Amino acid sequence: MIGDVDRTLVLGLGGTVDYELRWDPTVFDRLAHAHGVRRHELTTTAPITDERSLLVAVLAFVASGTGAERFVASSEVIKAFVSHFTHEITLGGTGVRAGLVLHALGIPSVQHLVSIDDNVRRLLPASLSYICSATEDTLDPHLIVQYPVGAHVRLVDGDLLAPAPNRLIFANDPPNRRMLLASDLAATLEDAEVFLVSGFNTMQDHDLLELRLAEIQRALRSLPTDALVYYEDAGFYSRRFAETVRARLLPHIDVYGMNEDELQEYLGRSVNLLDAVDVIRALREAHMIIPARTLVVHTRYWAIAIGPDAGQHRAALESAVRVAATRYRVGDALTAADVEKTSVMGRHGGGVDLVAAVEAALADAAGVGAFSLDVASPTTVGLGDTFVGGFIAGVVRSKEGV
């Protein structure tokens, strides 16, 4: 238990019910042959309208070893696809997963939810209280595909092999697209120590997005002046929407976070994450696009903050990397003791060297190297959300002097 938390940690904006698919190459082989999927058809950009196009998208991402979040024409497509596999029902969304991490570390929080059903009531721990804008129960599951390095699928005209482990998210979630805010959000923020904002990436109506951003701006007036606002980017279905969010909220954001996939999407190019020259250039370009007080990029090799306030978040970065590595290592059931065990494990040498090079080149950068872990069955789903939870835990510890 990390002391008594007198002020609230408010985590939003929307939670999800996730169907976490268990990777089964036999099923993927069977589906690939049943649908006659060929190598030249693999694409990550085509609309996902049925089981076949969903399969093609999954296989295209697996072949490239990348992660992403994509829109699906209907929840029925997801339900049909997942019926072929063994799967587990879990809770997702950046705020909820970050809250689950905080719960594991003995830190309570308040969730802002836009949907609710019996899965949420059953799986949400008692230490995670919530406010919710939903007026009725709904279920629009998110499909989570977690694949290992070396994942092998046989297509009609050849094989594919995953060069790295990663996770994919597919969803059609009307409540999260509407992102209706709870009427008591402003009142809940009045004693908040941290406010986590995420989830705008799923919205698709620009006028509605503008309305929600105006509502958030009004709610932010209730925040104490010393509260920290953390914004996690996530994979926007439309980059134009990301620009709108930045234009409206950037002045209010203390820490703006993103992962390596989102960094490369913003830059429109791949980045060699272990090449100091390439990473320094990428961080400079990203900070020009997103001139946040602190821009945080978290990757499999390192986590680096850049901006005028970056240095004050070094302890939070360390906490975030340590907690994310623990979830990668032990899965959902991580404990504070597991995090302590991770702390003495080895770091990725290339990541540590890269951080040193970046800090030497950029006066306003601070970073930590990631851990180098050899795990037979790593957990890759939710690592970014876990990073955020670990970061917030680090903020709380720093303020409490722990």
d(CA 125, CA 129): 8
Q: What is the CA radius of gyration of the chain?
A: 20
Provide the H-helix boundaries in 290-335.
314-330
- The answer, yes or no, to whether the previous bond of 59 is cis (omega within 30 of 0) is no
Within-domain flag for 52: yes
* Residues 33 and 122 both lie in one domain: no
pLDDT at 375: 85
Clarify whether residues 229 and 109 are in a common domain: yes
Q: Residues 215, 246: one domain?
A: yes
Statement to judge: residues 199 and 156 lie in one domain = no
CATH number of the domain that residue 87 is part of: 3.30.1110.20
Task: Decide: 99 and 70 in contact? Cβ < 8 Å.
Answer: no
The answer as to whether 336 is a domain residue is yes
Best CA proximity match to 390, nearest among 340, 295, 318, 333: 318
Whether residue 130 is found in the same domain as residue 251: yes
Are 69 and 162 in contact by the 8 Å Cβ rule? The answer is: no
* Strands 166-171 and 142-147, sheet pairing: antiparallel
Find the helix packing angle between 349-361 and 276-289, rounded to 10°: 60
Residues 6+ apart with CB under 8 A from 80: 51
Identify whether 226 is part of a domain: yes
Together in a domain, 128 and 211: yes
Last residue of a domain, one of 150, 171, 192: 171
Are residues 156 and 254 located together in one domain of the fold?
no
Res 4: pLDDT: 42
Strand segments, DSSP code E, in 233-360 are 255-259, 295-298, 302-306
The torsion of the CA quartet 138, 143, 144, 150, rounded to 10 degrees, works out to: 170
What tens digit of pLDDT does each residue of 337-360 get? 999 999 999 999 999 999 999 999
pLDDT of residue 2: 39
Kindly report the CATH number assigned to the domain that includes residue 243. 3.40.1190.20
Q: Is position 397 within any domain?
A: yes
Decide if 248 is inside a domain: yes
Same domain, 235 and 316: yes
Indicate whether 303 and 350 sit together in one domain: yes
pTM: 0.88
| Average pLDDT along the chain, 402 residues, taken 10 residues at a time | 64 94 95 96 95 97 91 93 95 94 95 97 92 96 93 94 92 94 97 96 93 97 96 84 94 96 93 98 97 96 97 97 95 92 95 98 97 85 92 90 61
Q: What is the dihedral of CA 368, 145, 198, 141, to 10 degrees?
A: -160
Q: In this predicted structure, what is the pLDDT of residue 302?
A: 98
Which domain, by its residues, includes 301?
8-16+93-134+175-401
Token pair, residue 111, equals 């969730």
In this structure, are 85 and 199 located in the same domain?
no
Residue 3 lies in a domain: no
Domain membership flag for residue 372: yes
SS3 141: coil
> Does 158 lie in the same domain as 59?
yes
CA dist 333 to 98, 162, 164, 218, 328, Å? 13, 26, 24, 37, 11
Domain total of the chain: 2
Residues 220 and 359 grouped into a single domain: yes
